Structure 1
Amino acid sequence: MATIRAVDIKGGTGPVSALFINSETPKPVPTGSQALVKVKAFGLNRMDLLQREGRYPVPPQAPKTLGVEFSGTIESFGSEPERGFNVGDEVFGLAYGGAYAEYIAVSTHMLVHKPKELSWEEAAGIPETWITATQALYVVGGFVPGKSVLWHAGASSVSIAGIQLAKADNASAIYVTASSREKIEFCKSLGATEGFSYKDGDWAQELLKYTDGKGVDFIIDFVGANYFNQNLDVAARDGHIVNLGLMGGAVVKGDVDIGRFLFKRIRYEGSTLRSRDEEYQGRLRDTLVEHALPRFVDGTFKVVIDKVFKWEDIQEAHELLESSKTMGKLICTID
C-alpha cells in the first residue's frame, strides 16, 4: 500500500504537542467524482483546533486527517469526475477533511481552477472562509444592497471576507466587533464603517448610540450565548441574525426577553457548512466562482494572510491560531 506524509495526532485527539507528521499515512485513492490533488498549501481554521481536541462533530465521510481547504495540482481522477478538469490543473478547493497532507482525495464539484493572479498560499486561504461568508451573507442571510451589516470577530478570516463582500455590494454601513482598537482599524482599512471593542465597555450600547438607536439589519455571529441578548438589542426592525458558531457558549444564562423577536420582527437563524451535502456545497462553490473569483483576479478582493508556516511547524501554527491574536489567515505550505 502506498503511503504519504500527513499531519496526525498522537492518541487520536490531544493538545498542540500531540501533532506530528506521520509518514505512514495511506495514500488516498479517488473514487467516483473525486480527484487526487497533490497539496501545495492548506489553510488553518478554528474548527481544526476543536477537532484536534475531539470536540468537533466530524462528518462521517471525512478522513481523520485535519484540514478542509487547500491548493494544489490534480494528479488523477475517480471514475466520474466533473467536466472541465484535467490532470495537471492548478486548483483550490473545499473538502470534508484531509487537507493537512501531501495528497487529498476530494470531490471535483468542490474544486476551483486557480487563477495565475493568486499564489498557492492565497488560493488555499479562500475556500472555507469565503464560502462561509458568502453562505452567511447571501444564501442564509438574504443580504440586499443598501442594508447594514455587523460582523462579529471582525478580524477573523470569515469576517475579513464578509467585510469585503458587503462593501462590494454596497452595504449602507459595515460594523464589526473586535478585541482591540488595532483590529478595528485593520477592519476599517478593508471597508468597515466603524468597530466596537467588547473589552472596552458595552459594544451593543455603543453601536446603538452610533446608529441613533436604529441598530443593524444583518448580524453575522460566531459567539452564540454570550452575545444573544446584545444581538437582540442591536438588531434593527426586521433584522436577521445568522449564527455560525458558539465561541461564547451554547447556553444563554439569565432571563431573556423574547418580546424583542415579536416587536422588532427579528429572525434568528443558525447555519453550518461542513455538514452540508456535496450538492449544497457545490452550489456555494458556483456562487463563489461567479460572484467573487473575478474580483480576486482584478485585485478588488484580497486574501489577507497573517502568517505562512512550513507544515513541519504545524504545532507553532496551531498555537498562534489558539492565541486569537491573528488578523487574517494562517497558511501552511508543503515543499
Structure 2
Amino acid sequence: MEVEIPAIHPAVAVRAPREPLILIDAPTYPPDAGEVIVKVEWTSSTPYHLHQADGGLLIDMFPRILGDTFAGTVLMVGPGPHHVDLEVGDKVLGYSFRDVKDGKEKAAQTLITVPTYLLGKMPQGLTMQEAVTVPDNIVTVFQAAVMDLGLPLPWPIPEGWTPPEADAPILLWGGAGSVGMYSIEVFRHWGYKNLVVVSSKKHHEYLKSLGATVCFDYRDKHVVDEIREYLGPQGVPYVIDCIGHLTGSLRHITKLADDGTKVAVMLPVVISDPTEIQAPVYQMTEPAEGQWKEGVIVKGVRTHFYLKNQLFKDKMQCEIIPTLLEQKVVRPNPQRIVEGETLLERAQDAIVLLRNKAGSLAGKTVFAPAGLSGTGAYACQLAKKVFNAGKVITTGSTSKVDQVPKLLGEGTVDQVIDHTKEDPTKVIPRASVDFILDTTGEAMSFLHLMVPSTSLIVSISTQPSGTQLQQSSVMRRPDNPRLPWFGRLFLDFFDTCRRTRARRWGVAYEYLFLDPNAKDLKTLAGHAEEGKITPVVGCTVNLKDVDEVKAACGTVYNGKRGLGKTVIRVG
C-alpha cells in the first residue's frame, strides 16, 4: 500500500543558544539507495541535546534540528542494497545523529530519511518508549571500550571466548547513569569480571544485579581512598568516566589514574552546568588537561566517530543492538515520559527538565526549612509526593514539630528538626543534601550541607539580581518602571557574591522570582485534586477588622509563630 509522503513536515529546532526551541517546516527527502523514510513516534532527550540547546555544541549554523535516537514506523523503502530487509509498516529503532541535507536524519521531527545501517528492527516485547533509551548508549559503550580503551568486544562472540583482560579492574564512574548501566551489562556479557562501579549508595543493589562486582558511594568523602584500598598496589588499568564533569567525576579520577592507566571520558566535559539564567561552560579538548599524572592515557569518547569502524557500521544498529535487546542481555533504562499538548511543548519541557535536573529528586535528600510556613508546607509535600524525594527534612519550633505529620500527612517529612533546640546546620550531616528550597534567607549558611557538584539551592528569601528584578513581573507595568543604575549594580554585586561563594563549594545557587502563570496553576490544581498536596491554612481574618489584619500581616512579616497560609476574608 502506497503512503502519501508530504513535501514538508514539522521539526523541532534550536534557534540560538539559550533561546526557546522553535518548530520549523523541514523538507521531506525521498529515500536514496539504501535509505528509508521513517515516521518518528518516539525520541529521547539527553544531556547532549541540552548542550546543543544551551551551549550551541557542534552547531555552526542556526536554526538546527535536534534529536538522534528514534523509534517509529517505516513509511517508504528506497532502492537497495539495504543493511536490513525492511518493508513498509515495519517498526524500527535507531540512532541517527548526522547533520546532512537540512537535517533529514535528525530525530526530533515527524519524518526522517535515513540509511538502513542507522537502524534495526524493533525486537518483540519492547515498547517504542523503551527502545529510544538504548541505541545511543550502547554505541557509546562499544566506542569507549573498543576504540578508546582497547578492550575487545568481538561480534559474534566466539564459542568459549574469554577476554584477555577478563580479571582486570574496570572502573566505571557514574554507574547509575545511562552509559554506566549499559557498560556494566555489556562488559558482564563479554566476560569481564572485575567491574568497579561508583554511584549513589541507593543504586548499589540494582547495579550489582546488573553485574557490578563492587560498588562505592561517590558521596563518601573517603571514596578515593576506599577504591585504592580495594584495587591494591596494581591500581586501575581501565577507567570510563560515564559523566564527564570536571568537579563531579574527573577531580576524583585524576587521583586514581596512574602511569599506564587508560581513561575514556564522555565529551563534552562540563566545567559548569547550565541553569535557567546561566550559560554552561564545556571543554572538548583533553579532559582535565594538566591534572593527570605522567603516563596516563586519556581519550575523549566521540560516539559520533563509531561509523569509522566498519564492523560497527555494518552490524551495530542492524544486528548487535536488536540482538542484545531480544536476548535480554541489556535492559532498557527507566524512562520518564514528558507530557505536553504539542511536539514543541514536549521538546521544550524536556530541555527544561534536563537543565534543572528535574526528576532527579527521586530518591534524593531535600531540605525545606520552616515546613509549616506558607511555602514550606507545599515544598515538603511536592518534594515527597510529586518529585518522589527519598528523604525530606524540615524545621519547626517545639510546638510545631508534632503538627507536621498531622498537617502534611504521615511519611511526607522524614526528619523534623526543632530549630529552637538544635542548629540544623550541625544536625544535618555535611555533603548529604541534594536540594534546598531556602524559605528563610539562610542559603549561604547551608552550603556545607550540600553534595558537591550535583546539588542545587533555590532561594525565595534572599534577594534577586538587579537584572532579574528588572525583568520580573513586578516591573511589567504600563508605566515601564526602571531600576536606578546604582540599585541594579548593588543587587547584581551581592547576587554574584552568593553565586561565587556557592560555586566554591561546588553548589549551584539560584534566586526564584515568583512569576505565576496558568500552566503552573493548572498543574498545582491537578496535584491538589489527586490528593498530593493539602492546603495548610493558619488563620483567617476579616478585611474589615484592621487590627486583626495588621496582626496577621505582622506575623507573616516577622516570619515567626505563623502556621501555613494566612487567609483574608474580603466579602
Please give the TM-score of this superposition, normalised by the length of structure 1. Answer: 0.80
Q: Determine helix, strand or coil for the equivalent of 2:234.
A: coil
Q: Distance in 2 between matches of 1:315 and 1:205?
A: 42
- The one-letter code matched in structure 2 to 1:267 is I
- Quickly say closer, same or farther: Cα 1:118–1:257, change in 2 above 3 A: closer
Identify unmatched segments of 5+ residues in structure 2: 1-5, 99-105, 152-162, 272-281, 363-571
Shift of the alpha carbon at 1:123?
Answer: 1.8
- Matched-pair contact (CA < 8 Å) for 1:35–1:77: yes
- Matched-pair contact (CA < 8 Å) for 2:38–2:76: yes
* Equivalence for 1:314: 347
What whole-Å deviation, never above 9, does each CA across 1:196-230 have from its counterpart, x for those lacking one?
33333143222112223433232112426545564
Q: Alignment partner for residue 208 of structure 1, among 189, 213, 228? A: 228
- The one-letter code matched in structure 2 to 1:34 is E
Q: Alignment partner for residue 270 of structure 1, among 276, 280, 300? A: 300
Q: Distance in 1 between matches of 2:173 and 2:80?
A: 41
**Map of 1:1-335 to 2, 5 A cutoff?**
2-9=7-14, 11-15=15-19, 18-20=20-22, 22=23, 24-58=25-59, 64-83=64-83, 84-96=85-97, 98-143=106-151, 144=163, 145-178=166-199, 180-221=200-241, 222-223=243-244, 225-226=246-247, 227-228=249-250, 230-235=252-257, 238-245=260-267, 246-248=269-271, 250=283, 256=291, 258-259=293-294, 261=295, 266-274=296-304, 276=305, 278=307, 280=309, 283-284=312-313, 286-287=315-316, 291-310=320-339, 311=343, 312-324=345-357, 325=360
Q: Distance in 2 between matches of 1:257 and 1:26?
A: 47
Identify unmatched segments of 5+ residues in structure 1: 328-335
- Quickly say closer, same or farther: Cα 1:168–1:215, change in 2 above 3 A: same
Shift of the alpha carbon at 1:133?
Answer: 0.8
- Quickly say closer, same or farther: Cα 1:177–1:23, change in 2 above 3 A: same
Shift of the alpha carbon at 1:80?
Answer: 4.8
Deviates more, 1:318-327 or 1:129-138: 318-327
- The one-letter code matched in structure 2 to 1:111 is L
Q: Distance in 2 between matches of 1:224 and 1:241?
A: 14
- Quickly say closer, same or farther: Cα 1:134–1:306, change in 2 above 3 A: same
Shift of the alpha carbon at 1:81?
Answer: 4.9
Shift of the alpha carbon at 1:289?
Answer: 5.3
- Matched-pair contact (CA < 8 Å) for 1:110–1:281: no
Deviates more, 1:243-252 or 1:49-58: 243-252
Q: Distance in 1 between matches of 2:71 and 2:63?
A: 18
Please give the TM-score of this superposition, normalised by the length of structure 2. Answer: 0.49
- Quickly say closer, same or farther: Cα 1:282–1:109, change in 2 above 3 A: farther
Q: Determine helix, strand or coil for the equivalent of 1:247.
A: strand
* Alignment root-mean-square deviation, CA: 3.2
Shift of the alpha carbon at 1:135?
Answer: 1.5
Q: Distance in 1 between matches of 2:361 and 2:79?
A: 41
- The one-letter code matched in structure 2 to 1:212 is G
- The one-letter code matched in structure 1 to 2:266 is L
* Equivalence for 2:512: none
Deviates more, 1:221-230 or 1:124-133: 221-230
- The one-letter code matched in structure 1 to 2:263 is I
Shift of the alpha carbon at 1:286?
Answer: 1.0
- Matched-pair contact (CA < 8 Å) for 1:37–1:73: yes
- Quickly say closer, same or farther: Cα 1:13–1:32, change in 2 above 3 A: farther
Q: Determine helix, strand or coil for the equivalent of 2:92.
A: strand
- The one-letter code matched in structure 1 to 2:303 is L
* Equivalence for 1:330: none
Following TM superposition, where does structure 1 have runs of at least 4 consecutive aligned residues deviating by more than 6 angstroms?
Answer: 251-255
- The one-letter code matched in structure 1 to 2:47 is R
- Matched-pair contact (CA < 8 Å) for 1:238–1:267: yes
Shift of the alpha carbon at 1:51?
Answer: 0.8
Q: Distance in 1 between matches of 2:116 and 2:231?
A: 45
What whole-Å deviation, never above 9, does each CA across 1:234-281 have from its counterpart, x for those lacking one?
24774321122212464777974633x1xxxx432233122x375547
Q: Which has the larger radius of gyration?
A: 2
- Quickly say closer, same or farther: Cα 1:159–1:196, change in 2 above 3 A: same
- The one-letter code matched in structure 1 to 2:192 is A
- Quickly say closer, same or farther: Cα 1:78–1:295, change in 2 above 3 A: closer
